[in-house]
Structure 1
Amino acid sequence: MQIKLVAAFLALVPLLTAASPSPVTKVPFVRKRSFRKSDGAVDIEALTAHVDEVRTKIARGFSAFKTNTGKAHPNDIGNVPPAKRATKRATGKDTLTDDLDGDLWQGAVSVGTPLSAFTVDFDTGSSDFFLPGPDCTENCEGHKVFNTAASSTAVDQKETFSIEFADGSTVAGEIFHDTVSLGGLVATGQAVVAATQYSTGFAIANSPPDGLLGMAFESIADTGSPPVFQTLVTEGKTTQSVFGFTLLDTGGELFLGGADSTAFTGAMTFAPLIVTDPPAFWEISVQSASVGATKVVTRAQDAIVDTGTTLLIVDPTSATAIHAKIPGAASASRTIGQGFFTIPCNEIPTDVSFTIAGKAFTLSADTLNFGQLEAGSTLCVSGIMGANEGFWILGDVFIRNFYTEFDFANERVGFATLA
């Protein structure tokens, strides 16, 4: 059933994107969460917990893909226990904002009739949308509640939702269909989970946004329903079936329904998705990795482009090869955890690059440097780590350097130089 639904959606895309455009709006971002302490040192506990959450998220995606399609995802290597699962004619622009040295960008979305505004973390590595519901009793304090009874368009689907996180806590709740407005573009009958329980990672002290809005494909949705952007496209609310991100120290934005030509310069370089039939993650091929003029990874690697992951995660062998060419870099498995590396703070390189679709994309020293190992240390934590996840994860350490576009219609991801 899910394969047919996704195929039907993709078949509609060319017709929907032919519509005439209307005014542009944005979703502005605020950058909120930090993995750096006030003294400039990395919050190791928070960072390692985040990595555990990412690994569990990927496992959930693999599990949902198998449930929705009846077959295993080709990158599912089974190294992480699967999480539990219960049974336009316009463009839009939403500004994202950021605080301190935060590593989470949040923006606004409105739900219900009348519309009620919430803040969410936009995550291209997952596909569900959830907010704290009126009956939420665990880890919801401080977050704005999605009052389903106050919305005349909220329809209870009489289905429960439950996903488990790395620390054993869960997000659980009831699935509703309701009106959702994102950057002024309105989706109707959208699946929204009204959580009755939040995991510890979503407690207000750990995650300021009210909820999470996934922007990957329907095949990895635990609700089994189309993600918000897919609904907008299917209902003909966008000029084009693309959206783009900028993740900046000053905030950034999510641009919906087209490319924000003011946010980048030069031509966009596009990488086609590695098709999983149906598509699942925003998965592309990275052809090689280099430090300076030296190619240190020569074999092409599958990689997902994931705004919900802070680090750039490669396989352990590649991580070791990359850091071996950086003067003074060393394993930090004993001080931080398996797969982490340190680099002398005065030796952060400016020539680490990844080749995608024939073009080398270079990381800035600022994004590669995650902060001091401890206050006053001459060693800094590298933003590249090694872990076996079945594919590389091009997280915010990579995405922050470029305007990044996600194209449903043509099943590709584009990168361009920031303006």
Structure 2
Amino acid sequence: MYLPFIVPLLPLLVAACPAPSPATHIPLQKRSTIMNSDGTVNADALRRQLAYSTAKTQRGFMAYQKNTGMKHPLDAGNNGLSKRKSSSVDLTDDSQELWYGQISIGTPPKTYTVDFDTGSSDLFLPGSDCHTNCAGHKVYNANASSTSADVHKSFSLAYGDGSTVSGEQYNDTVTIAGLTAKQQRLGAASTYSSGFSKENFVPDGLMGMGYQSISEYNAPPVFSSLVAQGQTSQPVFSFKLARSGSQLTIGGSDSSLYTGGLTCIPVTQQGYWQTVMDNVKVNGNRVTNSIHAIIDTGTTLVVGDEATVDEIYAAIPGSRPAILEVGLGFFTVPCNNIPKLGLSFGSATFNISPQTFNLGRESAGSDRCVGGLVASPSATDFWIVGDVFLQNIYTVFDMGRNEVCFAKLS
């Protein structure tokens, strides 16, 4: 069992380590945009989420090649140790699209909300000179922080939904749940495109929690810095993503939030939190063979390759494509017969509940519901496993052992 630092969500040997910090809880907020108030799906939001998730992954592939000089294996070309207790941040589920909570940056510290995203590795916020789509967001003013230092490098992050974040890179002090990373690389954006406007993106910024090899900055991500600077007792963080009580734990896991043992699977390639999914089961029957899976808290959907997703829906009675109603890659199922879909990792199968699989009715009065498993031509040899699955389990990300662990929620 890991000793945790718990962060509620609104989702090394070092010399002279500072005294341990008490556990810190950060409350999270929730808002919904994928499902309309009448229980129907917001098709535009679903299409944006699919484009965002697949393009984010492709961008990470490009960063990996730039940083390592090698093509990412999944890139098919488609586009005396001082122990600390754990610290927790309360998470908020924004329309089942984002899990966000609070961090502080600078000296004196200023508080910001960020999306905690295991599918990327960089921290960015709107800068003080951002005048495009930044209204309503709290801006980072580097000149107001005595610990800020301009590294004289720019950045530009492009997303498949057309949104772009670009600006200047800085080093500054970043604190999450009482744990502090000094000289942490972050981006101060001079441009937020419409995808990051307050209407579409509630938190102020985004904090990536992947490995450095997919960092656009090619700099240690926040969690890696916390570990290297002796701020955590273990190189572990964990998520409970649920309709209530969502929490990020930094420095370990919280055994009160799950039952039974942890099922742990090795990370097959450091960059994303990438592992092997053994198979998919429909109503208890195995349908697929093993495939690589990226575990991504910054993605709402479960995204798979077209052939396998077609095969899975073919095994679901009454399912059919929803190309015209929702978009390419989406399917509907009878609302009164939501399937029991299970993803198998290691020695265990973890089921997706009907509540999380069902994204909403196709239209008002319809008896057809949109499924949370979606096909994408970009996902050729891998899946992106997001919120539709992760809301059903407790997830542990271990950067020391380089493994991902799952357990059933309490």
- TM-score band (shorter)? over 0.9
Contact preservation (8 Å) 2:97, 2:298: no
AA matched with 1:140: C
- Residue 324 to residue 66, structure 1, CA distance change in 2 (3 Å): same
Aligned to 1:94: 89
Checking the alignment, whether the CA contact within 8 Å between 2:281 and 2:287 is kept in structure 1 is yes
Could you tell me how far 1:251 is from its partner in structure 2? 4.8
Is the CA contact (8 Å cut-off) linking 1:137 and 1:197 kept in structure 2? yes
Aligned mates of 1:110, 1:30 — CA distance in 2:
17
Aligned pairs (5 A) from 1:275-290: 275=269, 279-290=270-281
Contact 1:27-1:95 within 8 A present in 2 as well: yes
What letter is aligned with 1:212?
Answer: L
After TM superposition, list the pairs within 5 Å mapping 1:124-143 onto structure 2: 124-143=118-137
Equivalent in 287, 297, 303 of residue 296 of structure 1: 287
Structure 2 counterpart of 1:10: none
- d(CA) in 1 for partners of 2:211, 2:334: 40
- Flag the 1:347–1:79 CA change in 2: closer, same or farther, 3 A: same
The aligned residue for residue 353 of structure 1 is 342
Distance 1:324 1:164 in 2: 35
TM-score, with structure 2 as normaliser? 0.92
Aligned to 1:417: 408
| Paired position in structure 2 for 1:70 | 69
Indicate whether 1:387 and 2:379 are aligned.
Answer: no
The answer as to whether partners of 2:305 and 2:382 remain within 8 angstroms in 1 is yes
Structural RMSD (CA): 1.6
Could you give the per-residue CA deviations for residues 20-70 of structure 1, whole angstroms, max 9, x where no partner exists? 976333444323342111111111011101111111111110000000000
For the Cα contact (< 8 Å) 1:31–1:104, is it kept in 2? no
Q: How many matched pairs?
A: 391
Q: Distance in 2 between matches of 1:62 and 1:22?
A: 36
1:211 — aligned with what? Answer: 205
| CA-CA distance at 1:78 after TM superposition | 1.1
**C-alpha distance in structure 2 between counterparts of 1:358 and 1:391, whole Å:** 20
* Contact in 1 for aligned 2:238/2:396 (Cα 8 Å): yes
Find the aligned partners of 1:42 and 1:79 in 2 and give their Cα distance.
28
Which residue type is aligned with residue 92 of structure 2?
T
1:165–1:199 Cα contact (<8 Å) kept: no
CA apart distance, 1:333: 1.8
* Secondary structure of residue in 1 paired with 2:255: coil
1:259-303 deviation digits (Å, cap 9, x = unpaired): 11121111111011113xxx1000010111111232110x21000
The one-character-per-residue Cα deviations of 1:70-115 (angstroms, maximum 9, x if unpaired) are: 01000001112xxxxxxx542211111346x543221001000011
The CA deviation at 1:396 is 0.4
Structure 1: stretches of 5+ with no match in the other structure = 1-12, 81-87
Amino acid at match of 1:372: R
Q: Deviations over 1:221-263 (max 9, x none)?
A: 0011110000000001001100001111125011000111121
TM-score normalised by the chain length of structure 1: 0.90
Q: Partner amino acid for 1:249?
A: R
1:314 aligns with 2:304: yes
Query: Structure 1 residues 236, 415: CA separation in 2 closer, same or farther (over 3 Å shift)?
Result: same
Match of 2:51?
52
**CA distance in structure 2 between the aligned counterparts of 1:334 and 1:266, rounded to whole angstroms:** 43
> Does the alignment pair 1:399 with 2:390?
yes
Contact 1:26 1:256 in 2 (8 A): no
Which residue identity is paired with 1:70? Answer: G
Q: What is residue 112 of structure 2 aligned with on the other side?
A: 118
Distance between the aligned counterparts of 1:360 and 1:21, measured in 2? Answer: 37
Where does the alignment leave 5 or more consecutive residues of structure 2 unmatched?
1-11
Aligned with 1:368 (options 357, 361, 376)? 357
The residue aligned with 2:33 is: 34
Other-structure match for 1:225 = 219
**Mapped pair 1:159 → 2:153:** yes
Moved over 4 A (4+): 19-22
CA distance in structure 2 between the partners assigned to 1:195 and 1:260 by the alignment: 35
